[in-house]
Structure formats: structure tokens, C-alpha cells
Structure 1
Amino acid sequence: MSFLGLRKWPTPVAKPLWPFIAAGTITYFLVAKAQDMGVKSEAYAKDPRNPYAAQIAKESHH
């Protein structure tokens, strides 16, 4: 029996969505890693338009 359309037990939310949450997290970190590798590549590391050029130059001296 339901009261105003509500079930006795709540509908699960996180349990059926865990694959999508895991895939989203993995995708986020892989894209971030690819972007970091692209910014630090030799072709763009010394480009003056690169916003991380100063940081990359400072790290390369160590």
C-alpha cells in the first residue's frame, strides 16, 4: 500500500548510477591528464600564448 504515491522504501539513487559516476570521474581525470600533457609538450611549452609557460620554465630548471 502506498501513501500519496510514496513507497514504503525509498527508490535507490546511487546504486544504479554508480557506473556513470565512476565513468565520469575516470573521464574527467583522463581529460585533465591529456590537457596537462598537451600544455607541457615541446611544441607548446615555449609558446608565449601558453598561460603556463612561466610555470613550465620554472619547473624545467629544477
Structure 2
Amino acid sequence: MTAPIIKLGARMNSNKTAGPVSCVLRDLVMPATMKLINSEKMAWQFDHHIDWDATAAPLT
């Protein structure tokens, strides 16, 4: 009974696999896309500093 579900899942997953041409296009387009998107909207994700040497405050 589970075989059809597994078969469907495998078929749906294989449709999402990028081929060699898609991979090349993705690798060419994504850096430019990220530079365009990486504006003030995205700054909050990247404009911070983590002090790895700082001691964490104890939980109370």
C-alpha cells in the first residue's frame, strides 16, 4: 500500500532536480540576484557582528 506513495514522492522529487544547464544558469544568475536583493531590506541579516569571545549571560 505504501509503494504508490513512495513512487509518487520519488517522481515529484526527481522533477525538482536541476540539470546541468539549469545549474550553470543558477550559478550565473544567483550572485547578481543576491546583489540586487541585498539592499537595505536585507541589511538586518548581514550588518551585525558576533563577538565569539564574549561570555554569554547566565539564564535566570
| Category of TM-score, reference length = shorter chain | 0.3 to 0.5
Greater Rg, structure 1 or structure 2? 1
Please give the TM-score of this superposition, normalised by the length of structure 1: 0.36
